[in-house]
Amino acid sequence: MTATTDGSTGALPPRAAAATDSTTARRTTAQSTTARPPLPEGEAPGALAAAERATARAAEHLLSRQDEQGWWKGDLETNVTMDAEDLLLRQFLGVQDEETTRAAALYIRSEQRPDGTWATFLGGPGELSTTIEAYVALRLAGDAPDAPHMAAASAWIREQGGIAAARVFTRIWLALFGWWRWEDLPELPPEIMFLPKWFPLNLYDFGQWARQTIVPLTVVSAKRPVRPAPFPLDELHTDPARPNPPRPLAPAASWDGAFQRLDKALHHYRRFPLRRLRRLALDSAARWIIERQENDGCWGGIQPPAVYSIIALHLLGYDLDHPVLREGLKSLDRFAVWREDGSRMIEACQSPVWDTCLATIALADAGVAPDHPALVKAADWMLAEQIDRTGDWAVRRPGLTPGGWAFEFHNDTYPDIDDTAEVVLALKRVRHPDPARVETAVRRAARWNLGMQSKNGAWGAFDADNTSTLPNRLPFCDFGEVVDPPSADVTAHVVEMLAFLGERHDPRTQRGVEWLLGEQEESGAWFGRWGVNYVYGTGSAVPALVAAGIPASHPAVRRAVRWLEGVQNDDGGWGEDLRSYRDPEWIARGESTASQTAWALMALLAAGEREGKAVERGVTWLVDTQRADGSWDEPHFTGTGFPWDFSINYHLYRQVFPLTALGRYVHGELFTPDRLEA
């Protein structure tokens, strides 16, 4: 992967991009079910024809990528910490093998930047903890510390403050091998398991991804294991004789100061714990972990909790041949993507439900017949994935009937609100041979999503009212979001789903609409929690508001249109760099990408701007950048796990969203709530 922006210098990219080769036209078997709309006034006949050809090619390409079982899944690319931690886990457990190590090292080396660092997204700045973990992994793979690429990395690490300046999770990994002192890490006692659900900082105050990680790490923190390190890491300290100089305490009256002193007290408690209580807490943590292991052996369908759960259970006496650990280790191999060059990339997660519902929506909006075998097969697969048992979400919503969908192949404990909304929107586009079955599933899903509405009228991703600000202040939680408050993009998708189900006037829908309107920025944009960034938030909010009955003439919609028109790149596309999460100067600034251009177009089309110049230029950019096989290239990261801290390149985004936007442009009002009601 090579950077195409001058990300390392911090210079803002221009609103221009070089023209790319046009693609050749090829016919598709996709069938349109609507008459071709009239040409927009003043538009040349060739422009719409080019968009139709691009739509047909894209539909054909996407249809060809469907699995025989009915699902779609693109690679989910994050950063090399996944690969480094996989090697560290294998070293810790003593299960490393030469082929895996070689392939992982090959991939990690390929991601190193010219300055010796590793970034967390394409074109981004070097990141200290990522660089430390990558460096250590390559040392485990046999790379010599004086090799040029390794020396460059270690020099940069020292310049940034060395290991002492790394995040807590990185130092935990190093502590497992004695490269860092456990005493110099924040304490995380397993007794947290016994905090009642009404008590501040109880387990369910954390978001689901943090909760799944924290429980096993309480075991690791209590046990403080150390495996013999195969080599020292003195070259990663600014002063090896004093690797962690004492840090000044924050004022006692501040939250940071209060939590620092709480951590100091917990360190004292660790020296003299209530032994029976500690033993019961460890047993409770073990049961909690085992109860949440999924049928495929993983935990939550996410690699990090799986890794820490395996370590925790192993420390509690479970040997590697125990069925729980055996299946857990096998599940980790499913996160590996082997590449043609022999390298091995680890996915942090897999996204088949998300990719499948988005692909179904894209194909339907592109004019593929609603009873096309591919769409029916996709619907069957999605229907079979609906979750019918309760999970951790029921702690805040006891008595609510389950009915959601998760993001992954296996994650029954943690269905999410966003996937559920989009699956419903996908199912409503399919003419299934058993409509009663679809309707039953859709109604169950809608009830569940409505039941997960937070008190403020909006929706988070996994839990209701997961809004405490305290967990983010813990010294332990210095990486990414650990809570799950409502967001504009998730709320927009639920509102859009409710509108398509004829619930436009339901008071709960209207509360969501009011919350969305109140969240609009002064600029006219919406913040994007799960996609980058304001382009994603705006591309989600405008279609939802219009579907819910907000007229295109509404001031909020007009402000959004003006903002999108104002941030369009000179080449006709849209792009936004992940640095917009930290630096306002980067908002809606970045090289044009296929997915972000599509999001902007989806908003403009919903706002009635089909005849506008901005739409014409955006569509032209998509047509001109399409590859000959009907796909688009998109090396840039346009998704997030945590804004800025954990970035994602969903490899199917570059296919599904451009197809959706082009389909809506070509077919106009192909699928709307009003048409569904008619």
Instruction: Give the start-to-end residue ranges of the domains of the chain.
Output: 43-74+351-470+477-677, 77-242+262-346
Whose tokens are 């049961």? That residue is 287
Q: What angle do CA 20, 587, 642 make, to 5 degrees?
A: 100
Q: What pLDDT, on the 0 to 100 scale, is given for residue 45?
A: 58
CA separation for the pair 64, 158 (Å, rounded): 49
Fold of 43-74+351-470+477-677: Glycosyltransferase (1.50.10)
* Tokens encoding 398: 């006891």
Instruction: Give the three-state DSSP class for 453.
Output: coil
User: Is 256 assigned a catalytic role?
Assistant: no
Catalytic residue among 380, 412, 416, 418: 418
Task: Give pLDDT < 70 ranges for the chain.
Answer: 1-45, 669-672, 674-678
Q: What pLDDT, on the 0 to 100 scale, is given for residue 251?
A: 85
Q: What pLDDT, on the 0 to 100 scale, is given for residue 675?
A: 62
Model pTM score: 0.91
pLDDT tens-digit series, residues 261-298 = 888 898 888 888 899 999 999 999 999 999 999 999 99
CATH class belonging to 77-242+262-346 = mainly alpha
- The length of the chain, given as a count of residues: 678
Q: Which are the contacts of 139, defined by CB distance < 8 A and separation ≥ 6? A: 145, 150, 231, 233
Q: What pLDDT, on the 0 to 100 scale, is given for residue 33?
A: 32
Full DSSP string of 310-354: HHHHHHTT--TTSHHHHHHHHHHHTTEEE-TTS-EEE-SB--HHH
φ/ψ bin of 625: left (φ > 0), alpha (ψ from -120 to 50), beta (otherwise): alpha
Q: What pLDDT, on the 0 to 100 scale, is given for residue 22?
A: 28
